[in-house]
Amino acid sequence: MTTPEAITAVFQRHTEHRLQLEELMLLFPQVLPENLKAFDADKIENLINFIKNVVNHETGSMVVSRQLVNIVVSRLEGEAIEGGMGAYGERCEPVESSLLKLALIKLLGVLQPRAISYEDQLAQVSYKLAGIFEGESNNKQAAFYLRNMNLEQAQRGIADAEKCEIYLRTARLYLEADEAEEAEKAINRVSLIIQNKDKKDDEQTIIYKALFARILDSRRRFLEAASRFYELANTQSLPQSDRMEALGNAITAVLLAPPGTARTRMLIQLYKDERSMGTKSFALLEKTYLCRIIKTQEIAEFENSLRPHQKTNEAGENIVTNVLLEHNVIAASRMYETISLKALGELLGLKNEEEAELVAAGMISDKRLDAQIDQIDSKIIFKHTNPLKKWDENIGYLCEQVSKVYDGILSVHPEFVQAVETKM
C-alpha cells in the first residue's frame, strides 16, 4: 500500500506535471492490479486512499490529480492507459459491475468536498454511476446522479445537444420511477434549449414533447397533457403508429380533464379528427361530445385501461367517477325534466339514491348543474329549456330586434323606407 510519504516524495522530486504524473503511475501496482479480475473490496480501499492522498496533498497539483482521476476511472472500465507500462498499456476486462459501482461511489465522496475544482471529474463519475444504476433498473438512483451533474458551470464547455440529452434522460428516468415532480424539473431545463433550436422537429425536440406530455399526464394536468399529445399526433415526422398512440393518449387525457370551456374545445377538435374513429376510446369520446349517457360497463372498461395515477387524484378520490359520472348527470338533465334520485342512482350505477343525491348536490353547489333537489319527493328537477323551444325563442328574439331596427329607421327616415319598399 502506498503511503502519504511516498506521494509527498513524488511531488518533492519533480516540479514538472508530466514527471509527477508518470511517477505516480509507477505506484499503480500497489493499488490497482494489472489484471482487474484480482480487484476486490480491500483493493478498493487502497485505491481510494491513494487518490484521496493525491487530491488532498497540500503541495500537489490539481492538473496532475485531475488527470490521475481520469486515468483511474478509465482503467477501471478496462481502458488502456496511455504511456502505461506492461499490461497497463493494454485493454482488459473491466472491473465487475458491483465493485465498479462501489469504487465510483467512494471516489465521489473524495471529490465532492472539492467540487469546484473537480467539476468535470464529478460529472464523469456521476454519468458512469447513472449508467450502472440504470442497468440495474434503479431508475430513481440513476436519475439522481444525472441530476447532480453540474452542466451549466462545468470547466469544459458542454454543447447544448449534450446538455439536452442528459436532461431528457434524467426526466425519462424520474418519470419511469414515478417521480413526476422531479421529472418536470428536469424537463423544464430542456425548454430553453429547445426554444433556441432552429429545427423544431428534430429527434431531441420530439422526445422532449413526448416526455413533457407524459409528465403533464402523470401530474394529472390532463387538459394540458391532451393538448401536448395532440400536437405529437400531428407531427408528420413521427411514424403513423406513434401518431395514433399519441392521439389515443390525447383522447384519454381529455376524457379525464375537468369540465370547462377549454375541455369542450379540445373535445370538439378530437371528435372532428377523422383518425379518432380508429382509437379504442372513440365510443366514449363520441358519447361525451354528444352528451349521451355512458353505461356503467363502459366506464368500468375505460377505468381498467387507465394507469394508476389516472384513476385517483391527490386526495385519493376516483377521477373517473368525478368526471364521467358528472357527465352522465348532465346527459340526464338533457333527457329529463324530472328524475327520481333512485332512478338517477341506477342510471349512474351507484349503490343507492343517497350517493346520487351527493353527486347532484355537489354539482349544483359548484354551479355545474342548473337544478334543484326535492328531498320530500326524492327527485331532482332540472331547470332547462327544450332545445327546439330555445331555438324558436332565439329566432323570435332576433325577429323582434330586426323589427325594432325597422321601426327606428322608419321614424327617422320614412322616405328612405318608402323608397326601399317600392323597389321590393
Q: Would you say residue 368 has pLDDT above 60? A: yes
CB neighbour class for 332 (10 Å; exposed up to 12, middle 13-18, buried from 19): buried
The answer to whether the CB of 152 falls within 8 A of the CB of 175 is no
DSSP summary character for residue 321: I
pLDDT digit string (tens) for 9-65?
A: 888 888 888 888 888 888 888 888 888 888 888 889 889 998 998 888 877 788 888
Instruction: Supply the pLDDT for residue 131.
Output: 94
Instruction: Supply the pLDDT for residue 201.
Output: 66
Q: Would you say residue 324 has pLDDT above 90? A: no
CB contact set of 163 (below 8 Å; sequence gap of 6+): 151, 152, 189, 193
CB burial string 185-204: b at 16+ within 10 A, e below: bbbebbeebbeeeeeeeeeb
Place of cell 430513481: 140
Q: For all residues of the chain together, what is the average pLDDT?
A: 85
The answer to whether the CB of 295 falls within 8 A of the CB of 264 is no
Domain assignments of the chain as residue spans, ordered by start: 291-384, 394-423
Nearest to 184 by CA among 172, 194, 193: 172
Instruction: Supply the pLDDT for residue 393.
Output: 56
- Percent pLDDT > 90 in the chain is 36
CB burial string 16-53: b at 16+ within 10 A, e below: eeeebbbbbbebbeebbbbebeebeeebbeebbbbbbb
Phi, psi of 14 (to 5 degrees): -130, 145
DSSP summary character for residue 258: P
CATH class of 291-384: mainly alpha
Q: How many residues does the chain have?
A: 424
DSSP summary character for residue 322: I
pLDDT digit string (tens) for 177-217?
A: 999 999 999 999 998 888 877 666 688 899 999 999 999 99
